[in-house]
């Protein structure tokens, strides 16, 4: 406790343990469910949110995006609203239901932007492997060192699509509060959130809050952690970051998701401390009794329901 108190005072480090009951019934060691999804709330229709949908393409035409924008219905069209951009948008959309949208419409009424792919699956594994991971020093897309049958290292190109195509379109649909525009992602998506933070400039206000859920920090020989060491403090000062993780330590004998990190808590703690030393307003949030995969739902609901941005 003494050490933790010292860390809080010296490095603006916050460790939060949260009790959750989001109705998660996943096997702790299970891989993502890749069964086809049914109609989501945008297709079913909502009394509280209206959804606009638009397709986009990667610059090389190899990856095909589908973006949903959910806008509260009972809101003055000229009102400036908070927003959260959610990666793995297909799976994120599948977790939104009418009861949640009702609660959101009665609270801050955030705009919901889900960035997914043109697929019926919850995750487009090959595409997200490219889009969500940073390149090595060559800057080129190459085989994913964790899954060599896939490519990786295209986060800069995906970020360009996000900044130059997707976000301008969203801004034509609704007025957003630049002081309350968040980016959330899980696993490889969590890496993209961190990579976007590291590549932001001090004057860049694309996102005000960054939520990195169970990021795959050991991916590619800890490439992201090494990038943190090199990041100049001047472009990170006062950035707001939440690193969100479960506290289940993965078994050394049972099979786990290849994207899970056996040293996740230690690595995440060090990540937040390192970024705090460079001026980031960082928090590590631990979810009791949840695994890598289960943190997807828990962290997303936490961001949406508990006004973290």
Which CATH number covers residue 213?
3.40.50.1820
Asked if 74 is an active-site residue, the reply is no
**Average pLDDT of the residues in 235-264:** 75
pLDDT value at residue 44: 98
154-201, pLDDT tens digit by residue?
Answer: 999 999 999 999 999 999 999 999 999 999 999 999 999 999 999 998
Q: Please say if the pLDDT value at position 50 is more than 60.
A: yes
**Which of the two residues, 34 and 244, has the higher pLDDT score?**
244
pTM above 0.75, yes or no: yes
pLDDT tens digits for 128-143?
A: 999 999 999 999 999 9
Q: Which domain covers residue 154, as residue numbers? A: 2-305
Which one of 109, 186, 209, 292 is the catalytic residue? 292
| Mean pLDDT of the 28-40 span | 73
Q: How many domains does the chain have?
A: 1
- Catalytic pick from 46, 187, 291, 299? 187
The DSSP-derived string for the chain is -HHHHHHHHHH--EEEE----------TTPPPP-SPP---HHHH--SSEEEEEEEEE-TTS--EEEEEEEEESSS-TT--EEEEEESSHHHHHHT--HHHHHHHHHTT--EEEEEEESSSSS--HHHHHHHTS---TT---EE-SSSTTSEE--HHHHHHHIIIIIHHHHHHH--EEEEEEEEEEETHHHHHHHHHHHT--TT--S-SEEEEES--TTHHHHHHHHHHHH--GGGTTT-EEEEEEE-PPPPSSS---TT--TTHHHHHHHHHHHHHTTT-EEEEEEETT--TTTHHHHHHHHHHHTT--
Residue 258, pLDDT above cutoff 90 = no
pLDDT reported for residue 263: 80
Q: pLDDT-based confidence at 21, cuts 50/70/90?
A: very low
pLDDT in tens, 89-136: 999 999 999 999 999 999 989 999 999 999 999 999 999 999 999 999
* pLDDT score, position 261: 62
């Amino acid at each position: 406790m003494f050490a933790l108190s010292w860390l809080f005072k010296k490095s603006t480090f916050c460790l939060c343990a949260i009790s959750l009951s989001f109705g998660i019934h996943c096997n702790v060691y299970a891989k993502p469910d890749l069964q086809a999804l049914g109609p989501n709330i945008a297709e079913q229709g909502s009394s509280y949110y209206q959804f606009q949908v638009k397709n986009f393409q990667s610059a090389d035409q190899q990856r095909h995006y589908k973006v949903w924008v959910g806008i509260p219905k009972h809101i003055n069209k000229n009102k400036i609203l908070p927003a959260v951009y959610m990666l793995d948008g297909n799976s994120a959309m599948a977790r939104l239901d009418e009861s949640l949208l009702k609660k959101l419409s009665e609270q801050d009424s955030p705009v919901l932007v889900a960035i997914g792919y043109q697929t019926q699956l919850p995750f487009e594994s090959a595409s997200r492997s490219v889009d969500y991971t940073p390149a090595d020093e060559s800057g080129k897309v190459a085989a994913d060192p964790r899954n060599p049958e896939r490519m990786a290292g295209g986060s800069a190109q995906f970020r360009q699509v996000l900044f130059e195509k997707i976000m301008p379109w969203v801004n034509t649909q609704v007025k957003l509060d630049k002081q309350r525009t968040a980016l959330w992602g899980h696993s490889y998506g969590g890496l993209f959130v961190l990579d976007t933070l590291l590549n932001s400039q001090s004057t860049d206000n694309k996102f005000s809050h960054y939520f990195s859920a169970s990021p795959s920090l050991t991916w590619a020989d800890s490439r992201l952690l090494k990038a943190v060491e090199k990041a100049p403090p001047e472009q990170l000062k006062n950035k707001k970051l939440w690193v969100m993780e479960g506290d289940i330590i993965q078994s050394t004998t049972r099979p786990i998701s290849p994207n899970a990190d056996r040293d996740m808590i230690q690595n995440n703690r060090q990540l937040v401390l390192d970024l705090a030393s460079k001026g980031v307003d960082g928090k590590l949030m631990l979810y009791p009794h949840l695994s890598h995969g289960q943190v997807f739902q828990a962290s997303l609901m936490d961001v949406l329901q508990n006004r973290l941005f």
